[in-house]
Chain A
Amino acid sequence: MGEYKIRIGLEIHVELATKTKIFCGCAAAFGAPPNSLCCPTCLGLPGSLPVLNRAAVEFGVRAALALNCTVNLYSEFARKNYFYPDLPKAFQITQHDKPLAVNGKVQYYLEDQPVETVITRLHLEEEAGKSIHSGDSIVGSEYTSVDYNRAGIPLIEIVTAPDITSPAQAKAFLEQLRLILQYAQVSDCKMENGSLRCDANISLHGESGQNGEKVEIKNLNSFRALERALAYEAKRQAKILEQGGVILPETRTWDERAQKTVRMRLKAGAPDYRYFPEPDLPPLELDEAWVEEIRAALPELPLAREERYRSALGLTAYDAGVLVRAPHLAQVFEETVALGHEPQLVANWVTGEYARFARQGSTVSGKVLGELLELIAEGAISASQGKTVLEEMFTNGVSPREFVAAKGLTVIADREVLQSMVEEVLQNHQELVKRYLEGEERLLGFFVGQVMQATKGQAEPRLVNKLLVKALTEGRNWQPREE
């Protein structure tokens, strides 16, 4: 299959996180009781009419700008006509030949190499309701229930050029796209809730011209599914071409359980959507100044942020990458650094202990984390005590300064106190001291641990270290004290 070039294009649907639906005032929310967020317009009752939600346009423009698209100051809505129970008007209001935006691009890294994918177009449309079939599909189900809460939630459809050359790149692209849209605050982009959905098309091109037609794959509900389905499909198509077979243009669906793609329908039988301009909505004409306002207010995007973390803040490439890919961590990082803490030190904390605790769901603000780092910097507590305090901050929401005071946590940095403890530890482990002196230097860690334990973690570890090394080296001919 190495002799075939793979061309992949993606079609992505993203639910915009506006408060209300795109053509009516109903709340656009996930998880409400079925059919509780509906009105005549989103149910398509006779006599109802759509009114465009300005916020949906704003979110769409923001997404378009974040993807480096050209925003069309003139665009039109169109009707896409087809019958389905969850489509209340039996047409979807979308944009067809005059979309909101065109000609964008997304830059991202694939195995540390910079790559780019062209965005062909981005348009606004409305979401359909949700059908729940009693059987596997609408045909043959005994009954189908429909929830129209989702009907009318604003969507953007993003179409890429077919310039993606591998399943891994498709996944990397989609991850970057999600990140950009999350940064631009247009959507939560949760694939598991369907607020980010992706269809892919893939075709194979041989050097000697044995090209396959474009095959579309639907039902890709996770990044992993996208990558695996494309890999499966590339292999399947290559095998057919190698055997002299023909790839027909068709639509296939990813069967998650069987881990393979299955034919839905041949393109020859594809529906004709009979598009025409939506007569109930005037053309969408945007004020250029308004678009520029949105552009100016665009938050920093992932690529720019990663660059800034590496060059301006001096973070390691790894930490910069981790932070940028985890916006909630990046936010805490930014807040803490803004308080004047050293960026790499903050990054260590945030990508390390902080990230570990945050995985359990709760969060701690940058301001509070800053307070903790301050305590450590002041020498009031040790870094290892800091970890304990951070855990308390996450699980019980304590304030670090109050907690340290209440628990009486302090760093034992008293040279004399520690010196006697060091000596006591060495005294109690003479056999190990001997081995250390014979060259088993890793035992130093053990001695440090013993001292820390003896002080319940309150010793200043760097000092303990220093005292131990000093005591051990000075005692190359070290003899137990006389009792």
Chain B
Amino acid sequence: MRALAEMLSAGDVTSVELVQHYLDQIQSTDQDIKAFLHVDREGALQAAQAADERRKAGTPLSPWDGIPIAVKDNICTVGMPTTCASRMLKDYYSPFDAEVVTRIKGAGLPILGKTNLDEFAMGSSTEYSAYQITHNPHDLTRVPGGSSGGSAAAVAAGLCPWGLGTDTGGSIRQPAAFCGVVGLKPTFGRVSRWGLVALASSMDQIGPMGRTVEDVEILFSLIAGYDQRDSTSCPDSGYEFGNESLGTLAGIRLGIPEEFFGEGLSPEVAARVREAVRRMEDLGAEVRPISLPHSAYSIDTYLTLVTAEASSNLARYDGVRYGLRVEADDAVSMFKQTRTKGFGPEVKRRIMLGTYVLTASHHAAYYEQARRVRTLITQDVESAFEEVDVVVTPTTPSTAFRIGEKQDPLQMYLSDSYTAIANLAGIPALTLPCGKDKLGLPIGIQLMADHFREDVLFWVGRMLERSLKEADSSGRI
């Protein structure tokens, strides 16, 4: 991205040319990938033209002024639909921009369009979109992961230089891993949720996705920061990009939780991740085995809490004020028929599960219990960070699966086995590619750090990335 910024700055390329390039790519390739739900040709070109004029006048909004971006379609944008890939919000136009959209517009980034997702971000394959299935650019018969599968596939296929995703239990990291790109789930409270259509408010975070750790770091620096409209936003959340010193990993303590390398993990994934750990060790990092004893319960805990919060967050889609309305004889029938028609099966499944776990007679056994386990998991993580700086795990148990392969919802939920813990504990987590399996499908490695220590993740991530690249060009991978 720095190269692009320099070219723009030098006048070697214009923002209009850049945007046109990506629009052409979308035009020629996206019929196969199906990453975009909406492409805003005119809007993006207009924004690019404005960026070029600012460059000419010597008043760019930021070093990245004019570099376009794609935005996941559960993030509100004025002038474009925000559908959450649901029939419920077909043709819904938000009257306001999400805070992150205000911020990227403020940095001069033209928005190419809105990317596909599992309906209301509920899913791990982007197959649950009400409109289209997104395909993995590395193998079109396979899923890109989800729910931010549209943004991941678009970045991987070169349809945009970077994109925004959202992550509630792994929805940035899992598709990034499947598509061979870099993605960050920031610390809860560091990126404003104003304008993010809620799935589970206590875990949702918007995050950057890109081709390199540096690109993700740059985009993170644009979107992070306190926002008074989000009561869970933390003061002093801003992040300054510009950390040049690469040096070594001396002094970095890596924790390897054995719980994440057990049953259910593909041997190929395990091998690549362990190899990456050895590389980091070679760069000077100290490697320690650690234990996160309650992590085995993270997926059940996550599912209980996410469905509970989702059942409440999605109750507002009742046909009264906006979105789909199925006319009926009375209001109650209208609610029922609107929700029956507007929501897909996975959304209904989660709403029913969430309603069940909150019902008075089950509240204590499920919801309260899950809250208690969440506290235990958070304590595990906190004590781990007393011993180590970064916890290293695979991002996913396997590489991208085939479209239609996972029919059992429980199997699908297990895709988030390694990622949900960061959402439960509110800590930042980065995924970056660390090789491929024998089918040529990307494998991701996940780095987790303590609250607000994204800087450590970027440092370690960049070092590992460079080491892998050098090895790749010397033919060792």
Contacts and interface: CB of A to CB of B under 8 A. Distances in A.
A45 B232 contact: no
Interface stretch (B13-21, B261-269, B312-320): B312-320
Contact of B359 (A46, A52, A272): A272
A129 to B, nearest CB: 10
A426 B190 CA distance: 96
Nearest to A51: B231
B229 A91 contact: no
B312 A81 contact: yes
A280 B194 CA distance: 11
B85 interface: no
Interface stretch (A3-11, A139-147, A199-207, A306-314): A139-147
Contacts of A45: 94-96, 321-322
A321 interface: no
A83 B314 CA distance: 11
A168 interface: no
Contact of B198 (A47, A138, A144, A276): A47
A185 to B, nearest CB: 27
A138 B332 contact: yes
A381 B122 CA distance: 84
B439 interface: no
A275 B360 CA distance: 8
Contacts of A279: 200-202, 232, 309
Contact of A280 (B76, B84, B232, B331): B232
Interface in A21-42: 40
Contacts of B358: 81, 274-276
A409 B279 CA distance: 106
A91 B201 CA distance: 14
Contacts of B322: 45
A249 interface: no
B230 A139 contact: no
Contacts of B98: 47
Nearest to B95: A40
Contacts of B363: 274, 276
Contacts of B94: 45-47
Contact of A138 (B201, B202, B228, B330): B330
A88 interface: yes
B321 A88 contact: yes
The winner among A44, A81, A279, A282 for most chain B CB atoms within 10 A is A279
A379 B453 CA distance: 83
Contacts of B82: 46-47
Contacts of B114: none
A46 B197 contact: yes
The winner among B84, B229, B231, B360 for most chain A CB atoms within 10 A is B231
Contact of B231 (A47, A50, A85): A50
Given A51-B228, A138-B332, A146 B196 contact: no
Nearest to A79: B312
B193 interface: yes
A139 B330 contact: yes
Interface in A259-296: 272, 274-276, 279-282
A276 B94 CA distance: 28
A51 B82 CA distance: 23
Interface string B180-203: 000000000000011111101110
Given A47-B198, A49-B229, A279-B309, A90 B318 contact: yes
Interface string B37-63: 000000000000000000000000000
Interface in A42-87: 43-52, 79, 81, 83, 85
A276 B367 contact: yes
B111 to A, nearest CB: 16
A98 interface: no
B70 interface: no
A44 B201 contact: no
A89 interface: yes
A43 B321 contact: yes
B312 A276 contact: yes
The winner among A49, A51, A90, A144 for most chain B CB atoms within 10 A is A49
A47 B195 contact: yes
A91 B84 CA distance: 21
Interface string A121-162: 000000000000000001111001010000000000000000
B302 to A, nearest CB: 14
A49 B230 contact: yes
A139 B76 contact: no
- Looking at chain B's contact residues, the main secondary structure is loop
A174 B29 CA distance: 71
B318 A51 contact: no
B308 interface: yes
A40 B195 CA distance: 10
A81 B318 CA distance: 13
B193 A44 contact: no
A281 B198 CA distance: 14
Nearest to B314: A90
Contacts of B195: 47
Nearest to B319: A85
A49 B96 contact: no
B385 interface: no
Nearest to B371: A277
A90 B96 contact: no
Contacts of B318: 83, 85, 90
Contacts of B230: 49
Contacts of A144: 331
Nearest to A278: B201
Contacts of A83: 315, 318, 332, 335
Contacts of A47: 75-76, 82, 94, 96, 98, 194-198
Contacts of B92: 46
A235 B117 CA distance: 62
A167 B309 CA distance: 42
A211 B164 CA distance: 63
Interface string B294-320: 000000000000001101100110101
B355 interface: yes
B312 A282 contact: no
Interface in B333-360: 335, 355, 358-360
Interface string B75-100: 11000001010000100101110100
Contacts of A40: 95-96
A282 B312 CA distance: 17
Given A49-B231, A281-B231, A89 B197 contact: no
Contact of A272 (B232, B312, B330, B360): B360
Given A40-B95, A44-B321, A138-B330, A51 B312 contact: no
A96 to B, nearest CB: 11
B200 A90 contact: no
B89 A52 contact: no
A85 B330 CA distance: 11
A88 B232 CA distance: 21
Contacts of A280: 198, 201, 231-232
Contact of A274 (B194, B229, B312, B332): B312
Nearest to A144: B331
Contacts of A51: 228-229, 231
A436 to B, nearest CB: 80
Contacts of A48: 96, 194
Interface in B128-167: none
A51 B227 CA distance: 11
B193 A85 contact: no
A276 B229 CA distance: 22
B232 A81 contact: no
Contacts of A44: 316, 321
10 contacts: A40-B96, A46-B197, A47-B82, A47-B197, A49-B194, A49-B230, A81-B311, A89-B316, A90-B312, A275-B358
A-B pairs with lowest CB-CB distance, top 3: A90-B315, A274-B358, A279-B202
Given A51-B231, A83-B315, A281-B232, 13 more contacts: A48-B194, A49-B230, A51-B228, A52-B231, A83-B318, A83-B335, A88-B321, A139-B330, A139-B332, A140-B330, A274-B363, A276-B308, A276-B312
